[in-house]
């Protein structure tokens, strides 16, 4: 399907699945379908951006000259490439790689079988996981874990996550993959726990959210059970057994 005008775009029932590729011509401005669901690839030329009210689901790849946005998830069977930003209220998932000229932002997780690269920041409410490298000209932030299974993680500014941080190679904050001259000592790498990778910069481990502090076995004030080992406590304050 090829869309060359606003009239053609508005005539399509975007709530239904479309078989094959969808190609949208240049300079149509901001298009706001209810959703996009196609079995092939989605090609959006420069001067046209997509803001779907719900989800974008594509069997192939998404290639956009400008931005791609969805109120729900963005899920593709191939790669996602955008000249500007990629944003979703839910998760962003690609079987191959995800690349944006500006930022990549998701209310849920960001996952790619290959690399995740952004000219500006990468932010996720959940985890950020890539089979390849994770690179951002700005910061990289995740509410969950950050994982690069086969490469490294590089950010121009800080790197932060509330859960685990892991990479096969180096983890660097303060050195943009696109520019030279920044000092890796200025920006911190903050995580719940470093699992793997060689850190270049200042590392701060805050502890995992569900990790209990090892403060020994302390009895509840009720005298019924121990809060650490869950063994019953007798009337004299001693553990059973």
pLDDT of amino acid 123: 98
Q: What is the pLDDT of residues 91-117, one digit of tens each?
A: 999 999 999 999 999 999 999 999 999
**Conformational region of residue 35, where left means phi above 0, alpha means psi within -120 to 50, and beta covers everything else:** beta
Where is the domain boundary, 46, 79, 96? 96
Same domain, 201 and 168: yes
- How far is 8 from 1, CA to CA, in rounded Å? 10
Same domain, 133 and 152: yes
Residues in the chain where the model's pLDDT stays below 50: 212, 214-233, 235-241
pLDDT of amino acid 30: 96
pLDDT of amino acid 223: 42
pLDDT of amino acid 185: 56
Where is the domain boundary, 96, 122, 140? 96
Same domain, 220 and 203: no
DSSP for the chain? -EE-SHHHHHTS-TTS-B-S-EEE-SS-EEE--S-EEESS-EEE-TTEEEEESS-EEESS-EEESS-EEESS-EEESS-EEESS-EEESS-EEESS-EEESS-EEESS-EEESS-EEESS-EEESS-EEESS-EEESS-EEESS-EEESSS-EEESS-EEESSEEEEEEEEEES--SS-S---TTTSEEEESEEEEEEEESEEEE---TTPPP-----B-TTSSBBTTT--BB-TTSPBP-
pLDDT of amino acid 2: 95
Same domain, 80 and 63: yes
Same domain, 123 and 194: yes
Same domain, 206 and 219: no
pLDDT of amino acid 215: 43
Where is the domain boundary, 96, 129, 146? 96
Same domain, 109 and 196: yes
Same domain, 9 and 74: yes
Same domain, 128 and 153: yes
pTM of the shown model: 0.84
pLDDT of amino acid 210: 72
pLDDT of amino acid 201: 83
Same domain, 122 and 53: no
pLDDT of amino acid 179: 55
Q: What is the pLDDT of residues 46-72, one digit of tens each?
A: 999 999 999 999 999 999 999 999 999
Same domain, 123 and 70: no
Same domain, 171 and 230: no
- Domain with 227, as residue range(s), is 215-241
Number of structural domains, the chain?
3
């Amino acid at each position: 399907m090829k869309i060359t005008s606003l009239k053609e775009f508005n005539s399509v029932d975007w709530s239904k699945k479309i078989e094959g590729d969808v190609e949208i011509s240049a300079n149509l401005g901001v298009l706001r379908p209810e959703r996009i669901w196609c079995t092939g690839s989605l090609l959006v030329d420069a001067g046209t951006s997509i803001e779907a009210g719900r989800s974008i689901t594509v069997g192939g790849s998404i290639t956009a000259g400008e931005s791609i946005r969805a109120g729900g998830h963005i899920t593709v069977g191939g790669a996602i490439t955008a000249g500007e930003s990629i944003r979703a209220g839910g998760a962003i998932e690609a079987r191959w790689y995800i690349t944006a000229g500006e930022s990549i932002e998701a209310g849920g997780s960001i996952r790619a079988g290959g690399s995740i690269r952004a000219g500006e920041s990468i932010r996720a409410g959940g985890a950020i996981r890539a089979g390849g490298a994770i690179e951002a000209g700005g910061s990289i932030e995740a509410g969950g874990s950050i994982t690069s299974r086969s490469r490294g993680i590089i950010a121009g500014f800080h790197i932060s996550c509330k859960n685990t941080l892991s990479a096969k190679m180096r983890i660097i904050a303060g050195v943009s993959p696109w520019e030279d001259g920044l000092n890796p000592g200025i920006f911190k790498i903050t995580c719940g726990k470093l699992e793997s990778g060689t850190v270049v910069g200042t590392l701060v481990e805050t502890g995992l959210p569900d990790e209990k502090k090892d403060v020994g076995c302390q009895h509840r004030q009720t005298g019924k059970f121990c809060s650490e080992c869950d063994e019953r406590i007798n009337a004299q304050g001693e553990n059973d057994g």
